[in-house]
Amino acid sequence: MSERKLTTVTRTQGNNLALKEGRVHPRTFEFDFIEVPVLIDGFRRMVRGLEFDICEMALSTYLCAREHGKRFTALPVFLVRAFHHGAILVNTKSGIRTPKDLEGKRVGVNRGYTVTTGVWARGVLADEHGVDLDSITWVLSGDEHVAEYEPPPNVVPAEGRDLAEQLEAGELAAAIGVPGFVPLIEDAQEAGFRALAGRGHYPINHLVVVRDELLEHAPAIQDAFLRAKDAYVQGGELTPLHARVAELTGGDPLPYGVDANRATIEELIDHALRQKILRERPDVDALFADV
């Protein structure tokens, strides 16, 4: 067994549990797991300070970081996927009834404009409901992980004011990722599954990145995560989301690899370009380590 240890941040969940419990070991090194209680703090620490050797990271954060020259590269290991139809929330007293009602209004966004949930949720508004995203003023409760990123002019800070209070007071028409309110899209969970069944919409939220000087270990990292995921899938105790996905697709509820996910990655890139998170379209293959 190798004595080399690589510091690693990843939230414990079914598809990496075998790694965290030591039932699966990488072949060229050992994981030195660092627990970061709020995972997004780990993203930020990796983006701004390269604090870890290996780190789970949100896909849109990675795309933005990559465009701004951050020295880490992704592996096509997609740890978290979710549907975001239910992330757009409204105050039932606001008079907002349909997504098109948001045009020309102010809409809150939990944390930063480049947060992956927000990118996917805005994509749902545009793709499925024809909402003109540029007509909306997006009000942020926080800043971006990638400090160099400059948002478009219709993105403004909340200036320290609580988004939930603004939504309750009618100052915001809706908010993305602010709990305590009602989803704007009716039957949101089933809307997500319908999008999967109808057009293969299965959003990627998180992947795995490794510092560029350690890319020699990329094949072993990917192999270890794949074996851990296979143990989870074959173990038969899937989360309700993964079980439903497996039922709808008849296959692996957590596919890894670039080719198996190319359409989904391209979809998020399309959203990121339209939402002015990316300036230029990256080559999908170049985003990932050659393993």
Chain segment 91-133, per-residue pLDDT in tens: 999 999 999 999 999 999 999 999 999 999 999 999 999 999 9
Give 2's pLDDT tier (boundaries 50, 70, 90). low
Q: So where are the chain's domains? A: 5-82+203-287, 85-198
pLDDT reading at 286 higher than 90 = yes
3-state secondary structure 109-164: ECCCCCCHHHHHHHHHHHHHHCCCHHHCEEEECCCCCCCCCCCCCCEEECCCCCHH
Confidence of residue 185 (pLDDT cuts 50, 70, 90): very high
The yes-or-no answer to whether 5-82+203-287 and 85-198 have a common fold is yes
Residues 206, 116: Cα–Cα separation, whole Å: 9
Crossing angle (nearest 10°) for helices 258-274 and 59-67: 70
**Average pLDDT for residues 185-209, to the nearest whole number?**
97
Ramachandran quadrant class, 227 (left: phi over 0; alpha: psi -120 to 50; beta: rest): alpha
Packing angle between helix 240-249 and helix 188-199, nearest 10 degrees? 30
Task: Tell me the C-alpha distance between 218 and 144, whole Å.
Answer: 27
Q: Return the exposure string of 237-252: e unless at least 16 CB atoms fall within 10 Å of the residue's CB, then b.
A: ebeebbebbeeeeeee
Write the pLDDT tens digit of every residue in 47-95.
999 999 999 999 999 999 999 999 999 999 999 999 999 999 999 999 9
- Token reading at 247: 């039922």
For 5-82+203-287, the fitting CATH number among 3.40.50.300, 3.40.190.10, 3.30.930.10, 3.20.20.70 is 3.40.190.10
Tokens of 212: 């560029």
Q: Supply the pLDDT for residue 3.
A: 80
CATH code of domain 85-198: 3.40.190
